[in-house]
Amino acid sequence: MDPHETSKGPERDPERDPARDPERDRCYWRSRRGLLELDLLLPPFVKSRFESLSRSRRAALERLLACEDQDIWDWYQRRSVPDDAALAEIVELVRAFNDRSPNGD
């Protein structure tokens, strides 16, 4: 038996899975935050909407995920606005996604 096979058939190597997108995976893991409120908002957005984002919005999302939790939370709560218009746009997309329904659908 091939070492990559199991009794159920060939074992899938997640590193070679063509459906994996390293950029999406990186954003997803970076979206997991220390602040619970952000953990409830950001990972579902990344998981559901990342593929549909333009390159410029993906870049803005990566910049957003590099920001401090408290800044992101303040922007989400409309206590302040990011200086970067692209960040403000991503915050609005996350807000709209999460305001649509409890599951973001």
pLDDT digits (tens, 9 = 90+) for 4-18: 554 555 554 444 555
pLDDT digits (tens, 9 = 90+) for 31-88: 998 889 999 999 999 999 999 999 999 999 999 999 999 999 999 999 999 999 999 9
Task: Let me know if residue 87 belongs to a domain.
Answer: yes
Query: pTM score, two decimals?
Result: 0.74
What pLDDT, on a 0 to 100 scale, did the predictor assign at position 19?
64
Helix (H, G, I), strand (E, B) or coil at 60: helix
- Domain of 61: which CATH number? 1.10.150.250
Task: Let me know if residue 11 belongs to a domain.
Answer: no
- 1 pLDDT above the threshold of 60: no
Number of domains in the chain: 1
Phi and psi based region of residue 35 (left: phi greater than 0; alpha: psi -120 to 50; beta: remaining): beta
CA dist 50 and 72 (Å) reads 18
Task: Let me know if residue 6 belongs to a domain.
Answer: no
Radius of gyration of the chain (CA): 17
Task: Let me know if residue 3 belongs to a domain.
Answer: no
Task: Let me know if residue 58 belongs to a domain.
Answer: yes
What pLDDT, on a 0 to 100 scale, did the predictor assign at position 105?
52
